[in-house]
Structure 1
Amino acid sequence: MVEELKVITMAEFDYHLMLHIKKLREGRFSQEELSKKMGLNKSFVGNVESLLQPQKYGTRHISLLAKAFGYNSIDKLLNFSTPKYDKVHITIRVTSKMNSVGLPSRGKVVEVKKVEPVE
């Protein structure tokens, strides 16, 4: 098993928005379904939800997400606590999945180990 620790720096708002949208999405839509409902490439939401990818939701996506979830107002979409910090360091452990013969495959398991403010 191949493990690696990585530190990602991003806006705390972006991190919380991603987690909040993921929570809303799960049980209702697959990543691909939500991407299509937003009128975007089928891999968009999966890329946003992956801490290994640079794509994140931007202001353009707020109204697309609200419409996809059937909200008349974006306040329901943004119903989470105001972040305390501008930016955070997110420490993740990335573990390679193994294939049937015990060799690392392309699949990765990502686990958040720590989130701390950027000083």
Structure 2
Amino acid sequence: MEGSKEISLIDQYVIDFVRKLRDEKKVSQEEIGNIIGVSRTYITNVESTKHPAKYNLSHINLLADYFDLSPRDFLPEKSL
């Protein structure tokens, strides 16, 4: 996608955290989409560096609930 926006470090941190969690727990992109109420394609776009799609706080809250984590677990300890 031409002219794609560079993603912020905090957004990339969250995306990487969710991807790692998804891989460790053997949860598909489609399942993540179902948890947060979006399509699998949206999750594919979030995980792609070519799309500006990203998780929002509501998504993080739903994922934290599903994985029995705190929303804080999805964020870095210090600012980036």
Specify the TM-score bucket, using the shorter chain as the normaliser: 0.7 to 0.9
Residue identity matched to 2:29: Q
Aligned 8 A contact 2:32 2:43 in 1: yes
The count of residues paired between Structure 1 and Structure 2 equals 77
The offset of 1:32, in angstroms, is 1.2
Question: 1:33 — aligned with what?
Answer: 31
Distance 1:25 1:40 in 2: 16
Query: What is the aligned counterpart of 2:55 among 49, 54, 57?
Result: 57
CA distance in 1, matches of 2:41, 2:47: 10
TM-score normalized by structure 1? 0.54
- Counterpart check, 1:42 vs 2:40: yes
- Please state whether the residue corresponding to 1:43 is helix, strand or coil: helix
Task: Please say which structure displays the higher CA radius of gyration.
Answer: 1
Give the structure with the larger strand fraction. 1
**CA root-mean-square deviation:** 2.2
Q: Deviations over 1:34-73 (max 9, x none)?
A: 11122222222211011111201122222122123233x3
Distance in structure 2 (CA, Å) of the matches to 1:38 and 1:7 = 24
Q: Which residue of 1 aligns with 2:78?
A: 82
Describe the superposition over 1:90-115 as per-residue Cα deviations: whole angstroms up to 9, x where unpaired. Answer: xxxxxxxxxxxxxxxxxxxxxxxxxx
Q: Give the gaps of 5 or more residues in structure 2.
A: none
Cα distance in 1 for residues equivalent to 2:79 and 2:5:
17
Q: Higher helix fraction: Structure 1 or Structure 2?
A: 2
- TM-score for both structures, normalised by structure 2: 0.74
Question: How many Å apart are 1:8 and its aligned residue?
Answer: 5.0
